[in-house]
């Protein structure tokens, strides 16, 4: 069986926050999660995460999902892998992939193809590399001129001028024969200026022993990218952000201006939908075809059917059916289901409610904890009074109801079919089908009232 | 008379939507419309649009504005032009401009100047070209070393290494003597790997016949740009977007951050106005001087006078007079006229209403279908109840009225001059000048009511 | 004593607005202010601003802060400095720094270090220069090959091809021995094509007199940047904008997409806080650690404590304590203090009010001129009626109050502790501790009311 050991013990001092570096986020997910998902997509399920700095963050995040080991002192990448010795010994007959938990763009294709080379060539070590335009700072891959196989990895500071021209660089990810890796780990030393155990040294050890060692060049040049500071992290986010947008462009999604557009990796969008500037699509959001989403929407974990138009909407954990038109400035809170043909206008909040087909909620309204029928019309200023300070209760509003402006519906309450409520009425008890509910006094007219006030007011203004 | 034939039959498979390629939009207008407008600005009014794939979209969009012909099979650009044979025969004494319906940046200046060359040189064909930095993929213009006239057009795949260095490329737009074009069309063949009729072949035919052929280099290098996929379309949008912004910068409009700023081509803005990030100005919007528009406004088909400040406003088909200050988060819907000196605060919708000089609508208010006088003050939560479920009616509110908070005005209703309405009142009938309208019961105080509730509530929280 | 003379008389014709060029803004501050602040940071307090075009703008802006002189005719930079002759004569024993009021990126470090060279080398003139990638258009610094000291400044149009390759350029800022400058000013002539007095000529005069002249190369290449048109001004804003963001990145602030992000120079943010796209942080805003601010916030002159979350909030001159969560779409107006643990939901305006610890204002509410206690719950649609058209009054709301939906609180009014108000009630007088205040009639049910209406309505729709 093949293993993966993910090194996630680093600190990231220049990030200036006390969380482990692999827990910093790219497109909203910890870099460690990117690495784990790449393994999972490559059908590697035997993972060991080496934690170190602020290990509790890693534990809390993983929540037991995978085996972890603690590197209590940080003495280099070799030392980190040593902590996983027991984990590897359980499966020493296979191969082990060592990955950096803070190099998020490793991908399953690279993992699979490099393993293929590793096995086909019967390599002891297969280094994953990439050809990049600006190799400065990376370890260069020196190949044998005759065999074209890996000869050595030379760090920037040790490289000759000729070697600095080499554009193939080390990603920090390697396939090892597990048994060989266990052997090499025992031979690593701290004989270097940093007094650290370097995993890279195992390459030299293997070559000295005459073992097969080679380098697999990934087609994805981003496999080498990591971040040491917030600026680098911003760059990773930008790379990831644009890659996701590009994928959707290829799928026929329309973008006319991508400024401020952030789309999570797991979001699905069908062709013909247009995403406008400033829009964030997050979580497991799924969007149908021919929608217009944006500008400035946040859609998180929602299902949006075909032909939906959302203008400056924030929607969370909800479903919006075909042909719905919402906005501008509408807040759809979790647990809502907006059925087809609904129109929701400005300054409306919907929370944990079902809004039936063809219903209209035009403006300045709060519908919370409610089951609303079809073709209901909500007057402006309607409030479902769902909270009495102690419990939350539901409102039930039948088909074809016509709710007057500034109506309060004190939950629990049920309006039957086609109920009318008069503007300004507070409904405290159920209303039967086809009835009007009204609570209104007599408007008194006090003539001449404003004559004296007016002068004062105009002086003031 | 001179004609133009616009080729609009293409599919754009890689766009992944079933609409004709020229109907994809750049800055909100179909590319076909860009090409038509360039013709119109160049005083070419005899246009024939060749439609093909999903021709009904073209028909629906043009709505009879111009003559169209159907290319029922798509057998190349030459075949497309053949469909317009009858159209051209009506005016065979003049010249015909052939344009690509999906190359939106052709401009009237280029059309006019290339026609000038075409006529002055008595050319049979004048190819419109441009010098571009990255000619890869375009047909290269090979000129005679002695005469400097067009010798041939060489496609990328057929070009020698030397020819690939040529930076002058074919835009796909050509002037023909109409009679000559009709002649060449008869001589085009399908003798090529794609079995298509290529319009480009007419250049070879003409040269073989010893006719005058030349190439006009447009000063506008964007004339060659088209899009084959959504990514290309995004690039066209970016080119167009930045060109419009640059034009406004030259005119003295201020931008301190152009992220998310999208301005339609027909929008007019006077010097000294500042446009903030995330703002979309669309349609025939006209904006005066010394305004501040943004961030995140959408202004569509509006007239905005001098000194207006709009902070996060969406306004459609409305007029906003000098010195008005609106926002943040205000929705001005079609048919509104906001007169000078008005202040509108947050979470306000105005629809199909006139708001008189100096009136204030501070917050959380809906004014719809209303005629509001001068210096009116709207309390928070005011609602004009303009819809009874069957008809919409208007409210009339006189000068100097003072509308109490959470007032409902049930339309049709008229408030006279300086009318006061008490907070929470629902007004169902007209109120005379200077009167107060009040509907209020007596507040009952139930002492000790919350003593038992409070404990429960605090436990809950 | 050392002086600074700031040239602020220029017009900026291509800006197309009638304000002096140094009054155009970069990151919200006039360029002149940037220059003044650089002087102040370098402990230069004796400043004279030379005004000219539309001098009244400069006067109004400075409001007497510093001495000004008027250049009534614009006859060149030398002539501008001549206007400050009297100012300089008061301190002729020291040195004078001449700065361009429209080159905003001069910095205190450059001022101090160039003065150091000026004094150490006993220079008559020390020109402040920078090495830049694209020197086109700037005066080139020609140095003596042997001494490496300044030999001459050559304008673009007079430069040889070799000189055009020089990348060290003149910033237009100079240190002079004050007495020498006064001498040189007397010797400047208008013998040039523009008939202007050029300050640059003083360099030639000094060299001819055998005086020490040298050039100080600033480490900040932006010292040379100025703007002649709105496009240039946009570029200055972009440079400044990205420099501020980069500073915060270094400090550990997180940005995952900087589109539309604008942060004023004086804003302070602690590490671990995340700023989302479209957010503007202005004035003297101070933000603690571990906050999430954005997207699309405007925060101006606010103090934001640790762990605050603001989603699409505009807040002005207010304080928001630790752990507060606000948004989306909330307007915090000046004079507000939101205490720790408060939650404010959507479509809420808070103005000039204190909101006590743990209070909740969930939706569609206006709290103005109010003092709100702890753990109060505001129902949806609550309005503090703080304005009677003549005066504004305050509401006082005790701890643990529970305000019913669509309640009006007519100020001045005081609710005691744990007061309940019934939904839809208008409170006109004080309510004692633990009481319920209710004004509610009886809801009348008119059965069958909608039977006839419904048909009509459905037909309509």
Average pLDDT, chain B: 96
Return the pLDDT at B305. 98
In this complex, do C295 and A314 lie within 8 Å of one another by their Cβ atoms? no
Structure-block tokens of residue A198: 């370097």
Q: Are B339 and B325 in contact (CB under 8 A)?
A: no
| pLDDT surpassing 90 at residue A15 | yes
> Which residues of B are less than 8 Å from C238 in CB distance?
257
The tokens of A347 are what? 């300054």
User: Which residues of chain B lie closer than 8 angstroms to C17, CB-CB?
Assistant: 252, 271-272
- Mean pLDDT across the stretch C167-195? 96
Q: How confident is the prediction for chain A on average, in pLDDT?
A: 96
pLDDT at B461: 66
Helix (H, G, I), strand (E, B) or coil at A183: helix
* Per-residue pLDDT at B460 exceeds 80: no
Selecting from B15, B231, B331 the residue whose C-beta is nearest the C-beta of A346 gives: B331
Catalytic residues of B: 363
Cα separation, B237 vs C31, in Å, equals 33
pLDDT of residue B170: 97
Tokens of A210: 């005459």
Query: Contact C71/C52 with Cβ under 8 angstroms?
Result: yes
Which of C251, C260, C450 minimises the CB distance to A434?
A: C450
The SS3 of residue A97 is strand
Task: Show residues of chain C in contact with B260, CB under 8 Å.
Answer: 259-260, 278
How is the beta sheet containing A268-269 ordered, strand by strand? A268-269, A286-287, A303-304, A319-320, A337-338, A354-355, A370-372, A395-397, A413-415
Q: Token pair for residue B112?
A: 């006019």
CB atoms within 10 A of CB B318: 22
Which chains contact B through at least 3 pairs of Cβ atoms less than 8 Å apart?
A, C
Q: Report the gap between the CA of B62 and the closest CA in chain A (Å).
A: 22
Which residues in chain C are closer than 8 Å to A331, comparing Cβ atoms? 328-329, 345-347
Instruction: Spell out which residues of chain C touch residue A229, defining contact as CB-CB under 8 Å.
Output: 249-250
Continuous H helices in B165-312:
178-185, 201-208, 230-250
- DSSP state, residue C52: B
The number of C-beta contacts closer than 8 angstroms across B and C is 183
Hey, are the CB atoms on C390 and A16 less than 8 Å from each other?
A: no
Are C383 and B423 inside 8 Å of each other by CB? yes
Higher-confidence position of A202 and C450: A202
> To the nearest 5 percent, what fractions of chain C are helix, strand and coil?
25, 30, 45
Q: Is the bond into C351 cis (omega within 30 degrees of 0)?
A: no
Token couple for B394: 């208007």
* Dist CA C416 CA C427 (whole Å): 13
Query: Would you place residue C389 in the very low, low, confident or very high pLDDT band (cuts 50, 70, 90)?
Result: confident
- Give ipTM to 2 decimals: 0.95
The closest CB to that of B447, out of C259, C428, C434, belongs to: C434
- C-interface mutation test, from A381, A421, A426, most C Cβ less than 10 A away: A426
Helix (H, G, I), strand (E, B) or coil at B268: strand
All partners of chain A with 3 or more CB pairs under 8 angstroms: B, C
DSSP summary character for residue A112: H
CB atoms closer than 10 angstroms to residue A37: 17
For chain C, what is the mean pLDDT? 96
The verdict on a CB contact (< 8 Å) between C450 and A436 is yes
Separation of alpha carbons C378 and C361, rounded Å: 5
The verdict on a CB contact (< 8 Å) between C443 and A434 is no
List the single residue in C with minimal CA-CA distance to B260.
C260
Task: Report residue C431's pLDDT band, with 50, 70 and 90 as the boundaries.
Answer: very high
pTM score of the predicted model: 0.96
* Nearest residue to A214 (alpha-carbon basis) of A155, A108, A165, A142: A142
Residue C368: Cβ-neighbour burial (10 angstroms; 0-12, 13-18, 19+): buried
Query: What pLDDT, in 10s, does the model give residues C126-142?
Result: 999 999 999 999 999 99
Confidence grade of residue C461 (pLDDT, cut at 50, 70, 90): low
Query: What is the pLDDT at residue C344?
Result: 98
| Interface touch B238/A257, C-beta < 8 Å | yes
Q: How far apart are the first and last CA of chain C?
A: 82
What number is the average pLDDT over the span C177-183? 98
Per the CB < 8 A criterion, the answer to whether B333 and B348 are in contact is: no
CB nearest to C390's CB, from A27, A278, A457: A457
Q: What is the pLDDT of residues B359-403, one digit of tens each?
A: 999 999 999 999 999 999 999 999 999 998 889 999 999 999 999
Vertex C291: Cα angle to C371 and A52 (nearest 5): 145
Cα–Cα distances in Å, from A259 out to A273, A296, B400? 17, 10, 45
Helix C178-185 with C201-208: angle, nearest 10 deg = 100
Q: Which of B16, B241, B408 sits opposite A252 (nearest CB)?
A: B16
Share of chain C above pLDDT 90, in %: 93
* Under 8 Å between Cβ of C321 and C305: yes
Å between C176 CA and nearest CA of chain B: 35
| A-chain residue closest to C277, CA distance | A260
User: What is the spatial distance between Cα A306 and Cα A406, in angstroms, rounded to a whole number?
Assistant: 33
Judged against a pLDDT cut of 90, whether residue B455 lies above it is answered with: no
Chain A positions touching C277 (Cβ under 8 A) are 259-260, 262, 278
Residue C165 has a pLDDT of 95
As a whole-number percent, the residues of chain B with pLDDT over 90 amount to 93
- CA dist., res. A277 & res. B259, Å (int): 9
Res. A454 pLDDT band, cuts 50 70 90: confident
């Amino acid at each position: 069986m093949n293993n993966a050991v993910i090194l996630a013990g680093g600190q990231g001092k220049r990030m200036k926050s006390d969380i482990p570096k692999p827990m910093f986020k790219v497109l909203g997910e910890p870099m460690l999660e990117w690495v784990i998902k790449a393994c999972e997509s490559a059908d590697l399920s035997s993972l060991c995460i080496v934690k170190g700095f602020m290990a509790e963050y890693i534990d809390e995040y993983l929540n037991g999902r995978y085996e972890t080991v603690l590197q209590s002192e940080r003495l280099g990448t070799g030392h980190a892998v040593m902590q996983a010795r027991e984990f590897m010994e359980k499966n020493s007959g296979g191969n082990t992939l060592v990955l950096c938990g803070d190099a998020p763009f490793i991908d399953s294709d690279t993992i699979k193809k490099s393993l293929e080379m590793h096995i086909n060539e019967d390599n002891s070590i297969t280094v994953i590399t990439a050809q990049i335009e600006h190799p400065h700072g990376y370890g260069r891959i020196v190949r044998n001129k005759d065999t074209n196989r890996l000869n050595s990895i030379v760090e920037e500071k040790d490289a000759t001028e000729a070697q600095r021209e080499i554009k193939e660089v080390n990603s920090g990810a390697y396939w090892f024969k597990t048994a060989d890796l266990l052997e090499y780990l025992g031979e690593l030393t701290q004989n270097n200026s940093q007094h650290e155990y370097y995993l890279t040294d195992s390459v030299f050890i293997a070559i000295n022993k005459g073992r097969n060692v080679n380098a697999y060049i990934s087609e994805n040049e981003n496999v080498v990218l990591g971040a040491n500071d917030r600026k680098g992290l911003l760059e990773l986010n930008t790379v990831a952000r644009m890659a996701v947008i590009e994928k959707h462009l290829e799928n026929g999604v329309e973008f006319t201006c991508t400024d401020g557009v952030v789309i999570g990796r797991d979001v699905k969008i069908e062709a013909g939908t247009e995403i406008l500037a400033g829009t964030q699509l997050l979580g497991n959001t799924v969007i149908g075809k021919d929608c217009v989403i944006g500008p400035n929407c946040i859609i998180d974990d929602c299902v949006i059917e075909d032909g939906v138009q959302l203008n400056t909407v924030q929607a969370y954990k909800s479903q919006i059916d075909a042909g719905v038109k919402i906005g501008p400035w509408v807040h759809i809170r979790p647990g809502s289901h907006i059925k087809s043909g609904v129109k929701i206008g400005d300054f409306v909040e919907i929370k944990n409610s079902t809004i039936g087909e063809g219903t209209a909620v035009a403006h300045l309204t709060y519908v919370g904890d409610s089951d609303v029928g079809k073709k209901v019309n909500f007057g402006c200023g309607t409030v479902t009074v769902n909270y009495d300070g102690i419990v939350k209760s539901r409102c039930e509003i039948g088909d074809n109801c016509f709710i007057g402006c500034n109506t309060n519906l004190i939950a629990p309450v049920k309006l039957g079919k086609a109920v009318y409520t008069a503007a300004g009425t507070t409904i405290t008890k159920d209303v039967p089908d086809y009835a009007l509910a009204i609570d209104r006094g007599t408007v008194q007219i006090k003539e001449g009232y404003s004559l004296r006030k007016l002068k004062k007011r105009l002086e003031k203004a």
